[in-house]
Amino acid sequence: MKEVLADLIVLTGFSEEDPQILRRYTAVTAVWQEEVTQVFYDTLYGHRATAAVFRGGERPSREQTLRNWYQTVTEGNIDEKFWQWQWFVGLVHIPRGITNPFMMGMMSRVQQLFWHKCRENMSLDEAEMVYGAFKRVTDVIAGLIAEGYFQSYVHAMERMSGQSRTLIDRMVHMEVEEMLAEARRR
């Protein structure tokens, strides 16, 4: 996880200033928590494919998890433990059938709503600064969740099959080369 996190930090432009910015504006952004939670789960429950991943009666607990996440992010409580939690989310998504496209789509939805709220409640300069910090943090989060999902999935295959990661990677590489050759012949 540490190498993935380091790469994401560099590539997104995340800096230690981003949590500080979020902390400074938490009084403004905290009041959006319920709207973000409502839009998030209304979207998921309103779409057949995403609604199917939920069990009956669990919405209140899922909403509380999102509230906790939103509060942590907007308070700028971003540390090693937080990043590890985001990596773990990728693993949790696997048995629930929460695919990376679902996660990326909903992260985008949250980012768009946050941007709208920033523009609505701040000067343009402040909105760009606060949204930029939020965007960089949530882009790192999305990358960690996606890679946590992928690496956990591969690690589970490795454990189940008894095959090494090197062998799995080699077999996948060979198959992908064949798939690319087939695609080029079309």
Domain boundaries, position 118: 2-185
Residue 34, phi then psi, degrees to nearest 5 = -70, -40
Residue 94 confidence (pLDDT):
93
The amino acid at residue 39 is V
What does pTM read for this prediction? 0.92
For residues 54 and 44, is the Cβ–Cβ distance under 8 A? yes
For residues 87 and 144, is the Cβ–Cβ distance under 8 A? yes
Q: Is the pLDDT of residue 29 over 90?
A: yes
Each residue's pLDDT tens digit, 123-173: 999 999 999 999 999 999 999 999 999 999 999 989 999 999 899 889 989
Residue 168 confidence (pLDDT):
87
Residue 39 confidence (pLDDT):
98
How many domains are contained in the chain?
1
Each residue's pLDDT tens digit, 52-70: 999 999 999 999 999 999 9
CATH code of 21's domain:
1.10.490.10
The structure tokens 């937080």 sit at 82
Q: How far apart are CA 158 and CA 131, in angstroms?
A: 40
Binned at pLDDT 50, 70 and 90, residue 24 comes out as very high
- DSSP collapsed to 3 states, the chain: CHHHHHHHHHHHCCCCHHHHHHHHCHHHHHHHHHHHHHHHHHHHHHCHHHHCCCCCCCHHHHHHHHHHHHHHHHCCCCCHHHHHHHHHHHHHHHHHCCCHHHHHHHHHHHHHHHHHHHHHHCCHHHHHHHHHHHHHHHHHHHHHHHHHHHHHHHHHHHHHHCCCHHHHHHHHHHHHHHHHHHHHHC
Q: How far apart are CA 151 and CA 79, in angstroms?
A: 21
Mean per-residue pLDDT of the chain: 96
Residue 68 confidence (pLDDT):
97
Q: Is the pLDDT of residue 175 over 90?
A: yes
Closest to 180 (Cα-Cα) out of 169, 100, 99, 172: 172
Each residue's pLDDT tens digit, 83-128: 999 999 999 999 999 999 999 999 999 999 999 999 999 999 999 9
